[in-house]
Structure 1
Amino acid sequence: MPAAGQPRGYAVIDVETTGLRPSWNDRVIEIGIVHLDLAGEVTGEWSTLINPERDLGPQHIHGITAADIRHAPVFEEIAGSVVERLEGRVVAAHNLPFDVRFVSHEFGRMGVETPLDHAAGVCTMAWSAEFLPGAPRNLADCCARAGIPLNGHHDALVDAHAAAGLLRHYLDLAGPRPPWTPLLGMSRSFPWPVITGSGAAGVRRGVSAERDPHFLARIAERPSCPADPGRAAAYLTLLDEALLDHHVSVAEADALVGLAARLDLGRADVAGLHLNYLTVLAGAALAEGPVTEDDRHELDLVATLLGLSTESAARALADASASPRPGFARFRLSPGDLVVFTGEMDGARDEWELRARQAGYVPHGYITKRVRLLVAADPDSLSTKARKARDYGIPIVTPDAFARMLG
């Protein structure tokens, strides 16, 4: 700990965002902060996902899922923690103006002013011209030139550590008085706000896998009472819509658990319905001819998604052969159905809309009760379209699933 009045060192930051411009309502969705002492040694780190309460933008770049974000605090809940980790330090980043602009905007949304200013910090990208002459300016190439590992690019804490490594490299080259030495003394006097009641715990990637048990385990145990045809059909219809993309999103799992409770279905009842559903799928495969390896793979996948045992697919095929189960109304798109798209997908939006038109469907710009399907880059999307689709009971599928529907 530095003596009173002495420089505290550096806070190297990185943010992942929903886009490139706060003025376009883009938000911070992850922040990483690494502390360095005056010699460039790492003395601490901190990071968290941040719920932007909107869609997550280019997920194929940052890799953050809505399933994880739903567990994350909003910025207001961690603003005090950010101040605590920046106060009294020189703020550094690779492309510092970008990070400062976004973090300042988040504080500004709260009506809070901070002394964040890229002119009062160290930009490892800008200084690369002096310390890494001839190197490209992006983080990956600068790290490669300086011999700094960068594994997991576009994870805020990983990138903050990489930028911290660059800063340490620059400090080694600069000697005892780096060009930004005056900032170290000034940093202790910057007027940071006092923010109370915003010390929520940070949330890291992968939290959904840790905190969200399989939805079958969340259904209450009740005395077994097989569902009558009406209740069974209601549950199986929603289940079929959830499995259109061979994935049960967190939101779909919540919906299934909620419906089971409203229908007074216990865990054993639902497990029985899951096996019935698998048997219907097996019967459909048998009806099309000899069961292929692809058919068996799909049945195994669905069994896993439904929380059934590894032997369930074989049992379903045997049951379907011996005594075919009555079917239920499977989800099907029909010519003229309205289809809406949301999120940043592989391929341009107009290309997806063209493919939909060629298949006889009608791309639509927004959600109404007449819409038949929402295609979302992330099935747990927090976008307004996705929220409204869930309110209206409109199925949500991934682009890959929609492509399979198109044939």
Structure 2
Amino acid sequence: MGLLDRLFGRRTNTSPTSAEAPQSFQSKPRVQSSSPTFAIVDVETTGLSPRTDRIIELAVVHVDAHGRIVDEWTSRFNPEGPVGATHIHGITDADVANAPFFRDFAPTVASRLAGLPLAAHNAPFDLAFLQAEFGSAGWDVPALPSFCTLHASHHYMPNLDRRGLADCCWAAGIALEDAHSALGDARATAGLMSRYLAEGTGASVHPDLLLLPAQARTVAWPQGPSRPPTLRRRPAARPINSRPIRFTSSLPKQAPLIKQLTALSLLEVLDEGAPQGTTAYLETLLECLEDGELTASEAEQLTDLIATYGLSDADVAATHRAFILALAHRALDDGHVSKVERAELHALAELVGVPKAVVVETIKHADAARAARMSAGLQPLPDDWAHGEPLRVGDKVVFTGCDDAQRDRLEKRAEELGVRVVGGVSRMTAMLVTDGSFAGGKLAKATEVGTRVVHPDVFEVLLANLQPAVQGLQASEVPSVEFGRTDATAARFDVAVALPTASPAAVRAWAAQNGYVVGVRGRLPADVLVAFRNASLASTRPAATNAMMPDAHG
């Protein structure tokens, strides 16, 4: 399965034949009394490169100030060349053989967009293709005010693990019908906009949504082309070693670590140092690597996307390094890197231009930490434990505002024992260590996401009483347990017991049958995992032992 399969998914071709389907249409207005405030756009293309690929389907959905759909318009276009993989986007060469050229419809498209801010999910991608098509048609279209519902999802839904259109729609309760058709995706994006524009949804309306309409009215659109149209054709393949993405054929097929890419959270990669503005590129990179291979053609298209997203070489290098580190830590979760995992990490590092030494040092560090943990002989918590949730192997901790000498000593010891010291606070951070002498951005973020804040002296006690990681859960996802109660031993057993072995699909099926809301992919919520574990243990334990376990929802 290639890059386009991963990005757009396989679709059954349910499109009518070119003789049956109109090449463009405008539906009846949805809201008769409202005027358009935003133009939602979505494009289907022959590939991923705005430099060489073409739009074959475009939808423009007008919404009012409340996000309600006012009217819709869509058209297919003749790309003056092959449509690409029909089994992916569902459009055949015959479907567009008699379709208009974009240059012939440029005045119509311009009339649908002029005076309105544009919105799209992954807007830089859609706008880059629109600008390229207008440019080929001889139009000098200026920079257009735009709003990206993918980037805005950080504001409205900060805790999502992945941020594709399907992920955001699922989290917001928006129906996504006829996915990967231009009109279907534009309608779904309009649904997201209606949530983004609504008051009382748990997040304030993004400030750009209030400013963009006035900005769009000041943009002077050209009245027509200023030069003859030009035909863009795909050039010969060019060297791709100018960017740190290159092809290798050594990647193991169906390797275990590759299968974790669908569940890898963007937060994990951001925690390891990926710049905040790389979310859209990260989504693309993770999707295209899930099949375990990257062709030279796919790498070239990714290189073009890097330019589309405006990422510097330093941004890309930091993103690739963070990706490898995050994936490496997943391989190290069980304290051992298998031969297959080691080969896979090296192949992936080579694929994205991360030095081999980074992987070697990460694995070496993990082996040393594992040896330190074994020699330390971790002991159960004392019965009079009074410091709440303990620190666990694998927990992520952040330091700020501490005495330099004490901080250096604690950080070094924490890493020796397998506690991960990271640079930024997120909802996956177990605790922030600070003496309160500096109220900076890390403390503000910890307050925002509810990260536990502890004094260095308390952290030293927690470190001295380090507890094992909980198998099957990220350490930061372990539910808090009240350790001050009389039955402290039972409470410690409850959080330390390993989860029964089960596939994510089996856990999702059980959750759906028992009334839990779970997503279609990604990391399963901690409460669902704990409930599944408790239910599984309850079915195998004697009745007297079952009485010790908390309710499945607790």
For normalisation by structure 2, the TM-score amounts to 0.33
Q: Which has the higher contact order (CA 8 A, sep 6+)?
A: 1
For normalisation by structure 1, the TM-score amounts to 0.45
